[in-house]
Structure 1
Amino acid sequence: MKSIGFIPLRAGSKGIPGKNKKKLLGRPLFCWTLGEAIASNLDEIYVYTDDADILSFIEKEYHWTTKVKAIKRSDASATDTASTELAMMEFVNSIDSAFDLFCLLQATSPFTTAVDINNCLDAVASGENYDSALTVVNSHRFTWHADGTPKNYDIFNRPRRQDFEGLL
């Protein structure tokens, strides 16, 4: 069963310009996810980007593995309004490779581990009626709507943090 990883990267982030190349503990942000993808059971990992610097970086720094492939994405799929799903569909329709499992990996989730990736792959491949899997974090925070009303906070029934199941 062939599994591929897909890391979509855009050059034109408006919120944090160049965020995918920003250093986190000395490594570009996207390299944390890419490194774990390489260490996972994925057969191939595609970095799909419109950033020429990232394409060059991958060619220079990841030549030691045949698992990683950098592909230029179209300008249309790299706009501020383009969805990740658009990039995924464009990619799937453009590659000349068959696969059984598709794993979307986000560069902005640098704490995703190879174990997380493998657990998701195993769950979907297990035949236990899973057609998808995802990783999440548990947040022990109370949240409010924009109008100031609580989403998950009740002043008369507020659990202690350690008793609060949290949100995924």
Structure 2
Amino acid sequence: MTALVVIPARGGSKGIPRKNLLSVGGRPLIAWTIAQALEAQQDDDVIVAVSTEDAEIAEAAAAHGARVIQRPAELATDDAPTEPTVLHAMDVVEAEGTALDAVVLLQATSPVRRPDTIRRALAMFREKGVDALVGVVPESPFFWRLPESPGQSARAAYDVDARPRRQELTAQQMHYFENGSLYVTAPHIYRTKNNRIGGRTDLFVLDEVEGVDIDTLTDVAAAESMLARLGWRTS
């Protein structure tokens, strides 16, 4: 199976300036996702590409083993959606004569993944024959909704009269949060729907520790701790 991994990485960032190059565990943030994608080359023909308009990010991506795809300026604005960036990367690779079986979208700001996560996701995509896999993090079903109007009661999303113990919850009782870390999609879904999700969709359940996102500087320590816990070498 031939898969294109697309890692979008703009130079601009409103929360943390130059976030994709932020040092996390002794490496630029984007380097972790590149390393995890490269691990998947053990089982499949995997092209790991960083799509960026930024020269410094391009240099860091190439130094850590990724192919760099020059992103057009109009796809690098604050309000530009992700799907056109993926389609642009697909166009570049397919124009070279490569026939793609899968497109993997990875978010560099979710740097915590097991070394075999992407490899397992590609294997599941291939074996199940689905059109899309969505990476999700499991959460308990103990969610509540605010009252719809004053004087009404808050509403639980579970049966409060038969509250299960967490360790007794089945997979079907759990909720699953789409954290944006990982998507595996058939190329025709991007072409026909301009969307990373479509057709027959299944969930790829990530480990709870893989749910760390870098939104603020306080998230860095958590990411470094989890990366070390999963066996990645950090400094």
| Fold equivalence (TM over 0.5) | yes
| CA-to-aligned-CA distance 1:26-55 (integer Å, 9 cap, x gap) | 222111111011111352100001221111
Decide which structure has greater strand share: 2
Partner of 1:139: 139
2: CA distance, partners of 1:18 / 1:166:
36
> Which range moves more in the overlay, 92-101 or 38-47?
92-101
1: CA distance, partners of 2:146 / 2:51:
35
Q: Is the 8 A contact 2:3 2:104 kept in 1?
A: yes
- With the length of structure 2 as denominator, give the TM-score of the two structures: 0.60
1:166 pairs with one of 139, 164, 174: 174
Q: Is the 8 A contact 1:33 1:113 kept in 2?
A: no
Partner of 2:105: 104
Q: Is the 8 A contact 2:7 2:107 kept in 1?
A: yes
Q: Is the 8 A contact 2:34 2:61 kept in 1?
A: no
Partner of 1:117: 118
Other structure's SS at 2:139 match? coil
Q: Assess, with a 3 A threshold, how the Cα gap between structure 1 residues 146 and 35 changes in structure 2: closer, same or farther.
A: farther
Deviation at 1:141, TM superposition (A): 6.7
Deviation at 1:103, TM superposition (A): 1.0
Partner of 1:24: 24
Runs (5+) with no aligned partner, structure 2: 149-153, 177-235
Aligned residues: 162
Amino acid at match of 1:166: M
Calculate the aligned-residue CA RMSD, in Å.
2.4
Runs (5+) with no aligned partner, structure 1: none
| CA-to-aligned-CA distance 1:75-119 (integer Å, 9 cap, x gap) | 111111111112112222233232222111111221223422112
Other structure's SS at 1:86 match? helix
Alignment of 1:71-90 (within 5 A): 71-90=69-88
Partner of 2:201: none
In the alignment, structure 1 residue 56 sits paired with structure 2 residue 64: no
